[in-house]
Amino acid sequence: MTERTWAGHPRGLATLFFTEMWERFSYYGMRAILVLAMVAAVDGSNPGLGLTTEGATAIYGLYTASVYLASLPGGWIADRLIGQRNAVFWGGAIIASGHFCMAANTHVSFYVGLILIALGTGLLKPNVSAMVGELYGPEAGARRDAGYSIFYMGINTGAFVGQLICGYLGEKVGWHWGFGAAGVFMVLGLIQYKLYGTHLGEIGLRPVTTGDAARDATVQHRGWLIVGVFLAGLAAVTAATLTGALTLDAVRLAQGTGIFIVAVAASYFGYVIFFGGLDADEKKRVAVIAVFFVSAAMFWSGFEQAGSSFNLFAQDHTDRVIFGWEAPASWLQSINPMFIILLAPFFAALWVNLGRRGLNPSTPFKFAIGLIQMGIGFLVLYFASLFVVQGEKVAPTWLMLTYLFHTTGELCLSPVGLAAVNKLSPKRYQGQMFGTWFTASALGHLIAGLVAGHLADDANVADMPDRFLFVCMTTAGAGLILLMFVGPIKRLMGDNKP
């Protein structure tokens, strides 16, 4: 009997596709209105939290960074304690609970909701992605790549639709309606995940074991003890902060966290290179990963302005009136996933065709081009801000063009990043090196929140062009410097191939 498939792939791919699609719907839908809700006045028809721009964007940076940092223990919990299948389900349940907490429309429930969403995403996101790969046999290289491409389309479809629906409800009806809608669709994703989970077979049902029952029991006991201590500590700090017993400044906390991440990353790379027992070639390849780490963190620090400073720019300085009706500012954030859906197949075909001709650009070249395009996107907003300082509102096409450059930059840098880490990592450090990639994203998101507080500072609108130009010169300049060192980096990689 021929095994039934979905679009030529294992039927389990459909289960994971729709689970991730609705999770991304909830994540990006909420993200689209997060900063807007935090800076909205506490009175009026749609009251918010009344935070300053700097405080709101710092919280935004801490939240988005936490999502990526949580993916590291999330993968460990699945591997050692509950299995990937349970991690995805309980992660989704915690995410939905977080959205419903935010929909409760109180200060306390708002912040508790953010913490729950970060924890739940850390459980769900790395494990649902890992299960996609496990649907295929060890020899299904090209077919597995195609499966991940389909899965990636689900991510961006969810992001596109989520930002439209949650954005409209949040801005036009009430912030809590937008947050609540994100929770409802996450629940729908969990329902279909349970209904069609049988298509996943035995994948991810159980945690990884050693075969030694006593040793496995010890691992489980210690693992749950660590999780319990962490959650108890987090609950205590949260309760103390929300009751006023402990005062935390979001900006300083974000700055301190960023310094901590940089110190840990630098120490880790230094330890692996000098004391990790690597041979000369392996040390060179790890050094290249460190270069890519810095490049990725810088790229994401600019890219993540979409949900913060760009969102505020859309709200305050963009003419969104269409036939007498003002479109939600958050709708402009859906431009990026729309461009991804449209352009990803083109870029995939481009690299393949260039490869056939021996012209496929090297990985460091793609990273450099990604950073340069990031800078060009900010240059577009530099010119737009020249009109803003004259008291004018600008057309949405300025932001759309910025998102176009940032999307093409993302397609040059993001897909090749994981492939580069996979290729360059010493085998005994491969899992940890993949962890550094997530850490680079976390650092970039954290920096993004801190930078956004200055970029979106309406108290000094006259300085807006200079601020955008500074980010343009920083990111594009980094790309140009990286471009100058493509040759040496390729030699460190061990060959002259892409």
Higher pLDDT: 363 or 115? It is 115
Average pLDDT for residues 263-277, to the nearest whole number?
92
- How far is 239 from 247, CA to CA, in rounded Å? 11
Residue 283 pLDDT > 70, yes or no? yes
pLDDT at 243: 87
Per-residue pLDDT reduced to its tens digit, 335-346:
999 999 999 888
pLDDT band at 422 (very low <50, low <70, confident <90, very high): confident
Per-residue pLDDT of 80-108, as tens digits, reads 889 889 999 999 999 999 999 999 989 99
* pLDDT computed for residue 495 by the predictor: 60
Mean pLDDT score, 266-292 = 92
- Say which range, 68-82, 152-166, 427-441, 481-495, has the weakest mean pLDDT: 427-441
Residues near 479 by Cβ (< 8 Å), separated by ≥ 6?
367, 368, 369, 370, 371, 372, 373, 374, 375
Instruction: Report DSSP state, residue 318.
Output: B
At residue 170 the predicted structure's pLDDT band, cuts being 50, 70 and 90, is very high
Q: What pLDDT does 498 receive? A: 44
Structure tokens at 428: 């005994």
Poorest-pLDDT segment among 32-46, 161-175, 343-357: 343-357
pLDDT tens digits, 10-19: 888 899 999 9
Distances in whole angstroms, Cα of residue 380 to Cα of each of 376, 394, 399, 469, 483: 6, 12, 8, 9, 22
Task: Calculate mean pLDDT across residues 408-423.
Answer: 84
CB 313 within 8 A of CB 38: no
Does the pLDDT of residue 195 top 90, yes or no?
A: yes
Average of per-residue pLDDT across 263-290: 92
**Percent of the chain scoring above 90 in pLDDT:** 64
- For residues 19 and 187, is the Cβ–Cβ distance under 8 A? no
Tens of pLDDT along 118-166? 999 999 988 888 888 788 766 656 677 677 778 888 889 999 999 999 9
